[in-house]
Amino acid sequence: MKKFGQSFLQLLFSRLEFLRNPKASKFLLQSIPLWIASCIVGCIAVLYAQILHFGEEVFLLFYKNNRAWVFILAPVFFFLSFISVRYFAKYSNASGIPQVMAALVLPKKKSKIINELLSIRIIIVKIISSFFMSLGGGVVGREGPTIQIAASILHVTNRILPKSWPKISDKLMIITGGAAGLAAAFNTPLGGIVFAIEELTKNHLKYLRTTVFSSVIIAGFTAQSLLGPYLVFGFPQVDSDGFHFFMILLLVTFLCGIFGAYFGKIAFAVNRFKKKLKPKQQFALGFVLVMLFATIVFYTNKDSVGAGNLLLDRLLFESDKTVEWYTVPARLFNGIISFTNGGAGGIFAPALSFGGSIGALFGEFFTLQPKQTNMLVMIGMVAFLTAFTRSPFTCAILVLEMTDRHSVIFYLLVAAWGSNLIATLIDSKSFYEKTSEVIVKELNPNNPQNNSNSI
């Protein structure tokens, strides 16, 4: 036993020998704060998901009891969501992805300005405001907000470290936080990595490998340890055989590409129009729009509210794959109102549900088999989200990981590629790109935007 103990210690010391290497020691010191922050990201992502799920359940409980409740819940909680952002953290509004993109473009010397986009205050207000939106039945998700929250956590971690502590580049920490946030929100580590590369930066990829991979793995593992090895949308049965079906698939891709692109254009136009109004005019317009939202919800059904996860679960896994004709326009209209309300809330999950609903409608129209309808739902999810974000690889990988349907990866990539092409023809820039440019001009008006994303 004594010899075993001595051998173990010798082995341990030999393994720790690398710490005598200055580069190895620096790497370890840089990584420790990153790993701790990534664990925090995973925990907060899980807590945030539970909070918004609870808010949506509360709204549906009241709505099921009496639909007229929507005329009270929607105006009150949409207003509270708007007020919490307006008076406590201006840049915690909407998704949060444009804010992260803007933080990467702003020069390092503008660190005080970057703190307006990524901070503890942003995290708190983001969670509270989006919780209010869920209580009001808002068509918003948590994935984009989780990206801003995660980027804030890693940015703040880097900022509070002592000056003597070897640090990772702040921009690299922000990119890593964004990747970790998406991985923890969707439980899709590959999606998080591809998102960091495709959406947040296109340069200096060699510097991203270690930090992004380690942070994504730790944040995702933490979330998975708390919730188990779940898939967001489980294991849907799919069937993609036949030329006739492939033509329908292309049709769904085409329409989702158009709807997704125009959804982004309209949302951006509404936000730009609202900024030109005086505060009282903004409030009056917001009240009119939220009452329209409540009226639509009152005369339709529960499929027109919420992030859309419940709708997609039904379409992919239950025998009832029918979608009322008004579901798609109702969700799209309510999504515009919710997303431009001025409060916090993302569009990833709603975009997936928009596309999934369109796919289900075509499955019903062509009287397809359930497995083929499932396939169209997934194609619609990828196509609509791609048209809105212009991140085709990220969107295809996200849906692939969420459903574990590797056998149809080719079709998902076709949908992503086709939708991205159509959306780019309609508008050369995505909602995120245009919004991030506006934020940069607001915060740093004297300098031209730097698109290098240098780390």
Task: Determine the 3-state secondary structure of 228 from DSSP.
Answer: coil
pLDDT bin (cut points 50, 70, 90) of residue 21 is low
Average pLDDT, the chain: 85
Model confidence at 77, pLDDT cuts 50, 70, 90, reads: very high
Q: Which two tokens stand for residue 316?
A: 């992919």
pLDDT of residue 12: 46
Q: CA 76, CA 93: separation in Å to the nearest integer? A: 17
Confidence at 220, pLDDT banded by 50, 70, 90: low
Distances (CA, A) of 218 to 224, 231, 293: 10, 17, 40
- Stated pTM of the model: 0.86
Task: Give the model confidence (pLDDT) of 226-236 as tens digits.
Answer: 766 555 555 56
Neighbours of 305 (CB within 10 A): 28
pLDDT at 318: 86
- The CA distance from 92 to 108, in Å, is 21
Identify the DSSP state of 277.
S
Is the pLDDT reported for residue 290 higher than 50? yes
CA distance 191 to 209: 14
First to last CA, the chain: 51
Contact status, residue 38 vs residue 180, Cβ threshold 8 Å: yes
69 to each of 59, 285, 294, how far by Cα in Å? 9, 21, 9
**Residue 451: predicted pLDDT:** 46
Check pLDDT > 90 for residue 455.
no
Confidence of residue 121 (pLDDT cuts 50, 70, 90): very high
Per-residue pLDDT, averaged over 136-154, amounts to 94
What domains does the chain contain, in order, with CATH numbers? 29-227 (1.10.3080.10), 243-440 (1.10.3080.10)
pLDDT, tens digit, 9 for 90 and up, residues 86-120: 999 999 998 899 999 999 888 876 678 889 999 99
How far is residue 307's CA from residue 78's CA, in Å, rounded to a whole number? Answer: 15
What is the reported pLDDT for 171?
A: 87
Q: Computed over its alpha carbons, how large is the radius of gyration of the chain?
A: 23
pLDDT tens by residue, 33-52: 888 999 999 999 999 999 99
Cα distance between residue 126 and residue 123, in whole Å: 5
